Every structure is written in C-alpha cells, then in structure tokens.
Amino acid sequence: MTGGYRGDVPPEFEPELRDAVLGWYDERARVFPFRASRDPWAILVSEAMAQQTQISRVVEKWAGFMAAFPTVHAVAAATPADVLRAWHGLGYNRRALNLWRAARAIVEEHGGQVPREPAELEKLPGVGPYTARAVAAIAFGRPVGAVDTNVRRVLGRVAGGADGLPAAALQQLADSIVPPDRAADWTHAVMDVGATFCRPRRPDCERCPARAWCRYAAAPPDRAATRDSNPAERPFETTSRWLRGRLLDELRSAPDGTWTAIHEPLGPHDAEAINAALLALAREGLVELDPVEPRSARLPLG
C-alpha cells in the first residue's frame, strides 16, 4: 500500500483481500439461526435486535420473537404492549417500539414488503444508516457497505492503521469493496473477522485473514501506551437504564389494559427518580401513565 495511497485500499489489492476474507468465511463462518433466513422482515428483526446487544442474546431471543410474530403483518396488527413483552430480555426497549412502528409503516406505505433500497429503509422508524445498509445487502444483495463497530475497526485498521479512517472515507471504502455477487456473505464475513480477530484490545493479527493487507498489523501501536485507563464504572443498578428496565418488567407482568401501581424504592432509586423515569418512558411512548393515580402506569395499547 504505497505510492498513491489516499486513505483507502488501492484497487489492485481489493480482489485479493476479498478473496482471503471470503475464503476464511466459507470455512469458519459463525453460525446463527437468522443467517439462514432470506426473509427480509426476519433479517430486519435480527438487525434491530443486534443494535447495542451481544449476539448471544440475539440468538436466544430471535427465534421466539419470530414464532410470536412471523410476519410484518403480525407485528403491525399487535399492540405495542405485545411487542414489548416479546422483547423482554433484550434491553433498549425503544427499539421494540420502533420495530412496531416500522412494521406499521411497511404495511401502510409499502404494501407489506420491506423496502429494498437503503434510502427507503432509512425512512423507517428506528432504522439508521447501518441497519438500512445491512438489510439491503443481506436480504436483497445490494452492494452497499454496512458499517458497524466491527466493520469500522476492520476496514479502518486495514486501510488507516492505528489511526483508522474518517467516517466519510471509511463509508466510501466499505461501499467500494463489497463484491457485487456476494454482498450478504461479505457483510457477515467482515463482521466475523472483527469479532474473531480484530478485537478492540489484543487483536489476533497473526491469524487474521486480512493480515497481509493490513496497515495496523504491519505497524501495531505500543500497547503499553494505549492501555485503557477509564475510571471504574458505577454499579449498573444505580443507573437510569437499570431503573427503566425494572419499571418495564413490572408492567410486562400485568394483563393488557391494567394499571400497575409502582412502589418505591426500586433498588437504590427513590420516588423522585421513579417519577422522572416514568415521565421519560411516557414521553417516548413506552408506557402510558394513569391520569388519576400518580405513579400508576401500563404498557401502551396502540
């Protein structure tokens, strides 16, 4: 990678890099149930679940969710409460509400068919650039680069070394390097390389199939100088995310339409913190507040 290097992989190296990564993927790909599906809706569900969530948790929940809601029409016809209950255990519950909203938009605006193009997918609630490109590539074979944290790390290190690449240059590279005939496989393959070898700490450069083309592997940073020195995180149960999850768990256990009184304390959180969390959840549409009884709530019914 010398001469006219401008922050991307020189075109003459792209086929060799792709062949090496795809060759490794063909033999060692991670096996997940949702990767066997070609149903665009099922793929959209798996990508929504995978946002900010460990893949092992997605594996546990995806099949059950698809059994409860096998089609986009099933989700669109459900109540938000139904979807939030099926989402239990995945966290970041706003994603469940957005998935319900996206299903309704797909049914009402797209005749029940998941859009094929990233620009149309991005118009759906909760679908950002990464998810739109991942669904377009995996479900429809569109040659677009889906850039998640793994892909950003792999391609950034390959082309930019320890400094990585600016976002715009990285997206341009990600789009240009997708093999037109294997967009889905390439999307999965780069993610697998990131998860298996190109880890944030202690990357296994020696075994990585992209090593021969990687600037990071050729000149790795001084690990002692880059050692993480973040302060210790506060206990999870003291966070607002923990409190929000506990509140929703209480409401999930109640029958549809039933108001549930929330009693304090919840863990270390007092009445003031609970009230603030309920108001925030209500503003986001994740709960409905009882207009008569303070601190009573229920899951939304539509």
Catalytic one of 14, 47, 60, 109: 47
Task: Pick the more confident residue, 198 or 275.
Answer: 198
Annotation says 47 is catalytic: yes
Looking at residue 5, its pLDDT comes to: 35
pLDDT of 224: 46
Query: What digits encode the pLDDT tens for the residues 130-183?
Result: 999 999 999 999 999 999 999 999 999 999 998 898 999 999 999 999 999 999
Residue 226 corresponds to which amino acid? T
Query: How far, in Å, CA of 222 to CA of 128, rounded?
Result: 35
Residue with the bigger pLDDT between 261 and 3: it is 261
Question: Mind listing the pLDDT tens digit for each residue in 203-261?
Answer: 999 999 999 999 999 988 866 444 454 555 678 888 888 888 888 888 888 888 889 88
Q: Which fold has domain 11-30+144-215?
A: Endonuclease Iii, domain 2 (1.10.1670)
Q: Which two tokens stand for residue 302?
A: 């539509």
Q: Where are the domains of the chain?
A: 11-30+144-215, 33-140, 236-298
pLDDT at 2: 35
Mean pLDDT of the chain: 89
Closest CA to 126 of 94, 88, 158: 94
**Mean pLDDT along residues 12-39:** 91
Q: Give the pLDDT confidence of 65-119 residue by residue, as tens digits.
A: 999 999 999 999 999 999 999 998 888 889 999 999 999 999 999 999 999 999 9
The CA distance from 280 to 286, in Å, is 9
The strand pairing partners of 296, in sequence order, are: 261
The rounded distance, in Å, linking the Cα atoms of 8 and 110 is: 37
Residue count (the chain): 302
pLDDT band at 10; cut points 50, 70, 90: low
Q: What is the pLDDT, as a whole number, of residue 232?
A: 59
Q: What is the pLDDT of residues 168-203, one digit of tens each?
A: 999 999 999 999 999 999 999 999 999 999 999 999
Backbone phi and psi for residue 91, each to the nearest 5 degrees, phi listed first: 75, 180
pLDDT score, position 250: 87
281 confidence band (pLDDT: 50, 70, 90): confident
pTM of this prediction? 0.80
What average pLDDT does this structure show over 39-62?
93
Bond from prior residue into 235 cis (ω within 30 degrees of 0): no
Element (H, E) at 261: strand 260-261
The CATH-assigned architecture of domain 33-140 is: Orthogonal Bundle (1.10)
